[in-house]
């Protein structure tokens, strides 16, 4: 665990795998998450000749939270500087939700560095329902009450099957969320506004040159299947998988299946 300074912003990051390898597997977080959200997934690559890099975007839990606005291009540039700092020349990017959107922007801006992208439950445009969810989260942030925040947003991100079968665990997570400080909510609001202002990039998807895998939970209420349909149609030669009985947080709900899909896709394209 360490921090890397890009300009006046310190980014929290973690590195595993083969130290000094020129190719890396990198994981881009969902908007509410931190590096530990990938704990069920990154070890699948641990015995291969890759660095494995996770970091919190500016505005996220363990990184600095400067005043906005941000942009997806800014997040991509931050990540590129971090990778160069670590001696990485090429990356396979695995991103979920907000992280998948940063992954697509990174592939557009830095094609020479991007070997593949795996995009989980992400979008390239908005509709009024999605805007409504984001606005409701911004209102929850204003309460600065972690438990109320978690309980308020949870039904929009977890699939019904997972929600029903894991009520005790989710109740414990809600109580644990009461420990986050006010800076978390301040960072979240900037990130939500960044998403609303900057995510519209459907017209740019055709410029993505690297192999792409698009994955979506069939029961995702937040970033619904129709958005992944657009990604799979517009990104040249994209592969596309829908996961049954999975909501928005497939990286928790169906991580075993995701590991199998992404492991095979990355090694095939390395």
CA distance 222 to 199: 15
Spatial CB neighbours of 80, under 8 Å, sequence gap ≥ 6: 106, 109, 110, 113
Q: What is the pLDDT of residue 152?
A: 97
CA distance 13 to 155: 29
Spatial CB neighbours of 263, under 8 Å, sequence gap ≥ 6: 44, 45
CA distance 201 to 231: 10
Q: What is the pLDDT of residue 110?
A: 98
Structural domain spans, the chain = 2-125+200-268
Q: Which helix (H) or strand (E) holds 259?
A: helix 255-268
CA distance 135 to 129: 10
**Using an 8 Å Cβ cutoff, are 199 and 95 in contact?**
no
Of 3.40.50.261, 3.40.140.10, 3.40.50.1820, 3.40.50.1400, the CATH number of 2-125+200-268 is: 3.40.50.1820
The candidate with the shortest Cα–Cα distance to 81, out of 3, 2, 6, is 6
Tokens of 53: 């890099």
- Cβ count near 186 (within 10 Å): 15
**Helix, strand, coil percentages for the chain (3-state, nearest 5):** 50, 20, 35
Q: What is the pLDDT of residue 131?
A: 98
**pLDDT tens, position by position, 243-257:** 999 999 999 999 999
Per-residue pLDDT averaged across 186-202, rounded? 98
**Which band of pLDDT confidence, cut at 50, 70 and 90, is reported for residue 94?**
very high
**Using an 8 Å Cβ cutoff, are 13 and 36 in contact?**
no
Cis omega (within 30 of 0) for bond into 232: no
**Which band of pLDDT confidence, cut at 50, 70 and 90, is reported for residue 1?**
confident
**pLDDT tens, position by position, 163-184:** 999 999 999 999 999 999 999 9
CA distance 209 to 187: 32
User: HSE (CB half, 13 Å, CA atoms) of 149?
Assistant: 25
Q: What is the pLDDT of residue 169?
A: 95
pTM of the model: 0.97
Pairing of strands 9-17, 2-6: antiparallel
Give me the helices (H) in 52-209, please.
72-85, 98-109, 128-143, 146-157, 160-165, 167-176, 182-198
**Using an 8 Å Cβ cutoff, are 149 and 141 in contact?**
yes
Q: How far is CA 58 from CA 26, 88, 122, 168, in A?
A: 16, 20, 19, 32
Average pLDDT, the chain: 97
**pLDDT tens, position by position, 22-74:** 999 999 999 999 999 999 999 999 999 999 999 999 999 999 999 999 999 99
Question: What percent of the chain is predicted at pLDDT more than 70?
Answer: 100
Per-residue pLDDT averaged across 200-215, rounded? 98
Q: What is the pLDDT of residue 232?
A: 98
């Amino acid at each position: 665990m360490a921090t890397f300074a890009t300009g006046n912003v310190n980014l929290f990051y973690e590195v595993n795998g083969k130290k000094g390898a020129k190719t890396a597997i990198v994981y881009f977080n969902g908007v509410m998450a931190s590096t530990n959200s990938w704990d069920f997934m990154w070890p699948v690559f641990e015995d291969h000749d890759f660095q494995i890099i996770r970091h919190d975007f500016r505005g996220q839990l363990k990184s600095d939270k400067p005043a906005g606005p941000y942009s997806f291009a800014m997040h991509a540039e931050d990540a590129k500087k971090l990778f160069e700092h670590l001696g990485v020349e090429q990356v396979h990017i695995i991103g979920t939700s907000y992280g998948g959107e940063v992954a697509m922007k990174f592939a557009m801006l830095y094609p020479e560095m991007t070997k593949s992208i795996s995009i989980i439950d992400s979008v390239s445009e908005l509709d009024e329902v999605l805007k409504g969810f984001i606005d409701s989260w911004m209102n929850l942030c204003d309460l600065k009450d972690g438990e109320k925040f978690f309980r308020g947003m949870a039904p929009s991100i977890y699939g019904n099957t997972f929600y029903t079968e894991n009520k005790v665990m989710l109740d414990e997570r809600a109580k644990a969320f009461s420990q986050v400080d006010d800076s978390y909510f301040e960072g979240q609001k900037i990130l939500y506004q960044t998403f609303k202002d900057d995510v519209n990039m459907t017209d740019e998807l055709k410029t993505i040159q690297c192999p792409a895998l698009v994955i979506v939970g069939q029961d995702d209420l937040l970033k619904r299947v129709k958005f992944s349909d657009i990604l799979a149609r517009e990104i040249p030669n994209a592969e596309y998988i829908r996961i049954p009985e999975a909501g928005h947080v497939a990286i928790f709900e169906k991580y075993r299946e995701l590991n199998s899909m992404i492991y095979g896709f990355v090694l095939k394209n390395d």
